[in-house]
Amino acid sequence: METTGIIAIAAAFAIAACTVFPALSQGKTAVKALESIARQPEAGGDLRTAMIIALAMMEALTIYGLLIAIMIVGKI
């Protein structure tokens, strides 16, 4: 296999890993936050704020993975 093929597979793996795992984590975070809000509606504002901050941090990991994949593809 040529070097370009290996680089392309590495970029594809970076994109796959950096989108699948944060997406699963975001789903779990949203489910738990909604369960907590359903259990204690008066704490909804605080939970919503914490959830949005947590989701933003997870989304940043996805963006970093995209940037790494672009850098890897730039080597082709």
Q: What is the mean pLDDT of each run of 10 residues along the chain (76 residues)?
A: 84 89 92 92 90 92 89 82
3-state secondary structure 19-45: HHHHHHHHHHHHHHHHHHHHHCHHHHH
Mention the CATH class of domain 3-73.
mainly alpha
Rg (CA), the chain: 17
* pLDDT, position 31: 94
Q: How many CB atoms lie within 10 A of CB 71?
A: 11
What ranges do the domains of the chain cover? 3-73
Determine the residue type at 4: T
- Would you give the end-to-end CA distance of the chain in angstroms? 14
> Residue 3: its pLDDT value, please?
83
pLDDT at residue 1 in the model: 65
> Which residue has 């940043």 as its token pair?
60
Read off the pTM: 0.74
